[in-house]
Amino acid sequence: MAVKRPPLGRGLNALITMDDLKTSGSSSISEIELNKIHPNPDQPRSAFDESALEELSASIRALGVIQPITLKEIEPDNYMIISGERRYRASLSAGLECIPAYIKKAEDENVVEMALIENIQREDLNSIEIALAYQKLIDSYGLTQDRLSERIGKKRATIANYLRLLKLPAEVQMGLRDKKLEMGHARALLSVDDPKVQLELYELIQTEGLSVRQVEELARAEDKQDKQPEEEASVKEPARKPIPPQEYNSLKEHLSSFFNTKVQLTCNGKGKGKITIPFASDEELEKLVGLLDKMK
């Protein structure tokens, strides 16, 4: 049986009576004991930021849970989370016993779909979680990209771009999930067919802090080289073995020491790249030119 308990701060509680709140359609708001609630095993969100959870927990301790979570009653006094697992976790941390919740009257086969769509619509997921959620919906319910686009209100091209992320090497997907690179970086990597080159570029993004534009330039250079006619390629020198990243780092450090400034060195899997020597004033530029003249 649901236990009634004030979830809001005193000011809000004076204005809103949870007992009187009802939603239209197939759900209503109730106070549900936390020990009767279980996370959804098909929850698309896999990563929860601990510092953000603690901030939410502190807010809940001060004001209560303002926005109800959404549950599905799977048996009497036993509920599964459709959406709102962050609020559920933060409420546990805050020491609450109950939480306000919408109780959805959904068929069992629709629960997973509802959970995925609600999380996507709220934009709480990272890029890889969204891509996996889209793929889960397509695989589980036989949806086409067009049909999925209609159901979740996203453009078909957007869905296709997310699904393409799942073609990247696992290490790159993990980096995207952990925000070690941006969506723009990932799209640039997808323009390269060779997974080994994708990983090499990903390593350069981490070590050199390459911008999206720099990765796009390297990817275009790689693509242009791959598309050269076989006859033209046959008269060229044999491709050199790529220099390991640690040797590039050593060369970069050597150049930085020689020029007494932080030299940037970028290179793709075919050995093509560029060296950038920064300067902060005309005097520094003159010194660099002098060093280059001596090298002649």
Q: Are 71 and 112 in contact (CB under 8 A)?
A: no
Catalytic residue selected from 50, 54, 85, 129: 85
> For each of the chain's 296 residues, which pLDDT tens digit applies?
444 444 443 333 333 333 333 333 445 688 999 999 998 877 666 677 788 889 889 999 988 998 899 898 888 889 988 888 889 999 999 999 999 999 887 665 566 667 666 666 555 678 898 898 888 888 877 889 998 888 777 899 999 999 999 999 999 999 998 889 999 999 999 999 999 999 999 999 999 889 999 999 998 888 777 665 544 545 455 555 555 566 767 777 877 777 788 888 777 666 677 788 887 787 877 787 777 777 65
Amino acid at 295: M
> How buried is 260 (Cβ within 10 angstroms: 0-12 exposed, 13-18 middle, 19+ buried)?
exposed
Burial state string for 9-29 with b = 16 or more CB within 10 A and e = fewer than 16? eeeeeeeeebeeeeeeeebeb
State the pLDDT at residue 171. Answer: 94
CA dist 52 and 49 (Å) reads 5
DSSP label at 26?
A: S
Domains of the chain in start order, with CATH, are: 10-108 (3.90.1530.10), 114-226 (1.10.10.2830), 254-295 (no CATH)
CA dist 111 and 168 (Å) reads 29
Q: Are 45 and 120 in contact (CB under 8 A)?
A: no
Q: pTM of the entire structure?
A: 0.54
State the pLDDT at residue 46. Answer: 66
The residues with which 73 forms a beta bridge, in sequence order, are 79
85 is catalytic: yes
